[in-house]
């Protein structure tokens, strides 16, 4: 006998008695009731519904006879969803209201199918949502699912699976079982659970079905797992005998206290029990004695002697510490009474439609003394904002005996810096963690996509945040910049030193030869060439970008113009020695100055045109390197840049050709030979500069340009002026006009 269902029936008796004793509710009206046992059977539920619809009172006895009685205005029940659905389909068209205290199937919320059905317990739609959010709350994304193969289980699990999908939870398997199905089906369900990789199982199962399943699993226990239970079994005292349930967590109706109900249950005597067949069966079952024959025995049981005491019993009937569904019976009965009181069923509809949805979170815990008991660890309140529905009042001791939340995932969480890639043919919860591509980050766990950083940013090594890209340019404080600056300054000092030597010996033949004025102008231009390389070092600005290229172009043209002038002087000087040739008067000092001025003016005009049309400007180059920004001077107009270089190259080539032609002219100190060598070096440097400039990355592009400037400048100063300085300083005896004219034999140097 189901003592808990008997307690529900006694709760209805108690509530009706309380209402009849009330002076405020239904004054002058006495409520009556009929109690029927559907035996959780659909056929019996149909029989009861038909009797109610026809106004017949069904009396349970051996002959199963019926007696006429008045039709009832309302029905409380049934406890199970499937019988409740059957009764509702029969009574609904007749307009007889039905208020269930425990039928939770979401299907009963369809008012077209069940227009007169109401309940005082939340629908499984809410319970399923609560279970799904609980699973999500604890981070479980890989679960198993088991349900009763009934209206309660199938509809409840359907609601849960839908809610779980919305929460991003994957279900490894879904099995349904009903206790009347073959044992082979039960064994198959148990084997699926044993072989699964999910460590969390959601069981939307009726208490009777759950007992069968746990008994089967106990024969060959699976690995430890976390059970998540529906209200039907998670607070059932009979589950406490299964160690598999230790640590189970679920949702349940909050416990309540009904004042006076405990004493009402115990205030039962043999004389009262004999009046009701259900109470007679309960009394005889509890005390193993017969009430039907006080003088003898019945069915092998001794007669009850009147000393039986209900307070000595410990069973679900007398246990009022877990009044959950019993309170729903209490509320259902009062709801009908209030509806009758106002003579309007719509008040009942309002009251029962907008009941607050609140569940407590019970857990099956192992106590310090070794016993197992239910403990409330928190509550779920659907009226709270999403994400705040759960509130835990104490730590949960899970199935492994620890307070650490167990893990049940198909794949470990993808850390920041990675993204999830679903495995082909597997649920979305089974995935691989793929590192974000270059230039992308993910700053969340289990990110579905990586996001590109802004062009000015680049991911850190972990690829979980975008950091400003380092800006690279040839700076003053780095080794390469210091070395190039040192050579630049050293070159200018060499040029100034030679200038001082020449100035001090300006009256000597070797200085006066080949136009000393051009020599000093050449030394001045070389000094500027060395110094202009400094404009290429440091952070590019608008002014430095314009200055570096134009200064380089103009100073080099000034330098080459001077060399070209000196070459022409050599050629003209030897031409003038021929009889009748008066060419020197056409290329004297004024003409030499004019040639240098004109050649340089052309470059100045090219630079002015370049700066006006499309001048160089600072530019953040983010194409060459993905992980850093190259701060460089954009050429503005590439035509302008190559025109400057091309003009320098043209003059250098012309100078080289003329010097090459004059290299064999008679003279102990033929300057054309040294100019030829210097132009050869100059041209070689700048020819190799072009591919090196184009292919060099980042700041090395600038370094190559500076190197070309310094190399060509050192080539000019060493080839043209070093031999003269050597004679002035170390061979002063050769610094004579006779020696220079080749009239005195010279020693080999």
Return the structure tokens found at 139.
Answer: 């981070």
Most confident of 6-10, 660-664, 714-718: 6-10
Residue 254 has, within 13 A of its CA and on its CB side, a CA count of 13
Pairing of strands 98-100, 75-76: parallel
**What are the angstrom distances between the C-alpha of 524 and each of 39, 519, 529?**
118, 9, 9
Average pLDDT along the chain: 83
Q: What pLDDT score was predicted for residue 237?
A: 81
252-268 confidence digits (pLDDT tens): 888 889 999 999 999 98
Q: What is the pLDDT of residue 354?
A: 37
Range with top average pLDDT, 137-146, 334-343, 418-427, 619-628:
137-146
Q: Which residues pair with 27 in a beta bridge?
A: none
Q: Is the pLDDT of residue 345 over 50?
A: no
To which residue do tokens 């069904």 refer?
Answer: 58
DSSP per position, 366-418: E-TTS-EEEEEEEEEETTSPTT-SEEESS----TTSSSSPP---SSPPPPTTE
The encoded tokens of residue 247 equal 């640590």
Of 73 and 711, the structure prediction assigns the larger pLDDT to 711
The region, left, alpha or beta by phi > 0 then psi within -120 to 50, assigned to residue 425 is left
Note the pLDDT tens digit of each residue in 400-452. 778 888 899 888 888 999 998 988 888 888 899 999 999 899 999 888 899 99
pLDDT band at 574 (very low <50, low <70, confident <90, very high): low
Burial of 95 (C-beta count, 10 Å sphere; 0-12/13-18/19+):
exposed
Contact 482, 706 (CB under 8 A): no
The predicted pLDDT at position 668 comes to: 47
Q: What is the pLDDT of residue 12?
A: 94
Rounded CA separation 168/396 (Å): 24
Higher pLDDT, 431 or 372: 431
Are 85 and 129 in contact by the 8 Å Cβ rule? The answer is: no
Residue 347, pLDDT score: 42
Maximum separation of any 2 CA atoms in the chain, in Å:
173
**CA 495/CA 501 separation, integer angstroms:** 10
Q: Is pLDDT above 50 for 61?
A: no
Which residue in the block uniquely carries the two structure tokens 């609980």? 134
pLDDT at 484 over 80: yes
What mean pLDDT is predicted for residues 197-211? Answer: 93
What is d(CA 98, CA 94) in angstroms, rounded to the nearest whole number? 11
Structural contact between residues 400 and 224, judged by C-beta atoms closer than 8 angstroms: yes
**HSE-CB of 228 using CA atoms within 13 angstroms:** 26
- Cα–Cα dist 613/607, whole Å: 10
Closest CA to 319 of 242, 254, 237, 260: 237
Per the CB < 8 A criterion, the answer to whether 576 and 584 are in contact is yes
pLDDT of residue 550 exceeding 50: yes
């Amino acid at each position: 006998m189901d003592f808990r269902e008997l307690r529900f029936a006694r709760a209805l008796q108690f509530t009706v008695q309380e209402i009849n004793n009330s002076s405020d509710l239904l004054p002058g009206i006495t409520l009556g009731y009929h109690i029927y046992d559907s035996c959780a059977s659909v056929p019996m539920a149909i029989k009861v519904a038909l009797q109610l619809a026809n106004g017949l009172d069904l009396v349970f006895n051996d002959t199963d006879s019926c007696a006429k009685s008045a039709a009832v205005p309302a029905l409380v029940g049934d406890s199970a969803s499937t019988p409740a659905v059957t009764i509702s389909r029969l009574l609904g068209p007749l307009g007889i209201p039905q208020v269930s205290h425990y039928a939770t199937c979401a299907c009963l919320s369809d008012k077209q199918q069940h227009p007169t059905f109401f309940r005082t317990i939340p629908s499984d739609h809410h319970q399923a949502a609560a279970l799904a959010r609980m699973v999500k709350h604890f981070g479980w994304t890989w679960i198993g699912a088991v349900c009763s193969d009934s209206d309660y289980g199938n509809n409840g699990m359907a609601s849960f699976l839908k809610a779980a999908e919305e929460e991003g939870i994957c279900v490894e398997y879904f099995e349904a079982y009903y206790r009347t199905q073959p044992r082979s089906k039960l064994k198959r369900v148990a084997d699926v659970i044993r072989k699964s990789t999910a460590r969390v199982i959601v069981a939307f199962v009726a208490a009777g079905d759950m007992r069968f399943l746990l008994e089967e699993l106990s024969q060959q226990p699976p690995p430890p797992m976390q059970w998540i239970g529906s209200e039907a079994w998670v607070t059932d005292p009979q589950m406490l005998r299964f160690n598999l349930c230790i640590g189970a967590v679920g949702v349940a109706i909050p416990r309540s206290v009904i004042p006076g109900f405990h004493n009402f249950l115990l205030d039962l005597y043999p004389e009262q029990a004999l009046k009701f067949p259900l109470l007679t069966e309960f009394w005889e079952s509890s005390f193993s004695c017969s009430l039907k024959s006080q003088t003898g025995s019945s069915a092998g049981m001794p007669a009850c002697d009147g000393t039986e005491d209900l307070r000595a019993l410990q069973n679900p009937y007398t246990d009022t510490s877990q009044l959950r569904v019993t309170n729903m019976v209490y509320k259902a009965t009062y709801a009908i009474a209030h509806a009758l009181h106002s003579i309007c069923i719509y008040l009942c509809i309002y009251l029962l439609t907008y009941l607050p949805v609140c569940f407590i979170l019970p857990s099956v815990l192992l106590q310090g003394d070794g016993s197992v008991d239910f403990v409330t660890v928190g509550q779920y309140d659907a009226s709270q904002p999403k994400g705040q529905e759960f509130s835990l009042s104490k730590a949960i001791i899970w199935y492994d005996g620890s307070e650490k939340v167990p893990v049940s995932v198909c794949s470990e969480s993808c850390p920041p810096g990675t993204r999830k890639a679903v495995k082909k043919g597997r649920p979305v919860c089974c995935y691989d963690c793929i590192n974000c591509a270059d230039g992308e980050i993910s700053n969340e766990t289990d990110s579905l996509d990586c996001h590109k950083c802004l062009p000015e940013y680049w991911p850190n090594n972990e690829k979980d945040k975008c950091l400003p890209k380092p800006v690279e340019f040839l700076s003053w404080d780095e080794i390469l910049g210091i070395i190039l600056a040192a050579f630049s300054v050293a070159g200018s000092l060499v040029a100034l030193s030679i200038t001082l030597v020449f100035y001090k010996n300006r009256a000597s033949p070797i200085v006066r030869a080949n136009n000393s004025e051009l020599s000093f102008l050449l030394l001045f231009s070389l000094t500027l060439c060395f110094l202009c390389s400094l404009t290429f070092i440091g952070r590019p600005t608008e002014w430095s970008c314009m200055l570096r290229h134009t200064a380089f172009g103009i100073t080099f043209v000034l330098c080459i113009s001077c060399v070209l002038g000196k070459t022409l002087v050599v050629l003209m000087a030897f031409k003038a020695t021929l009889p009748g040739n008066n060419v020197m008067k056409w290329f004297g000092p004024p003409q030499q100055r004019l040639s240098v001025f004109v050649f340089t003016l052309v470059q100045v005009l090219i630079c002015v045109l370049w700066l006006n049309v499309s001048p160089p400007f600072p530019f953040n180059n983010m194409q060459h390197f993905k992980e850093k920004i190259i701060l460089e001077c954009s050429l503005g107009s590439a035509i302008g840049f190559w025109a400057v270089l091309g003009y320098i190259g043209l003059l250098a080539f012309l100078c080289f050709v003329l010097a090459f032609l004059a290299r064999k002219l008679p003279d102990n100190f033929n300057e054309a030979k040294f100019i030829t060598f210097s132009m050869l070096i100059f041209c070689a440097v700048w020819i190799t500069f072009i591919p090196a400039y184009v292919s060099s990355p980042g700041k090395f592009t600038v370094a190559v340009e500076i190197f070309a400037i310094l190399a060509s400048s050192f080539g000019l100063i060493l080839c043209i002026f070093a031999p003269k300085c050597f004679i002035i300083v170390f061979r002063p005896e050769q610094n004579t006009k006779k020696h220079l004219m080749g009239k005195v034999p010279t020693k080999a140097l």
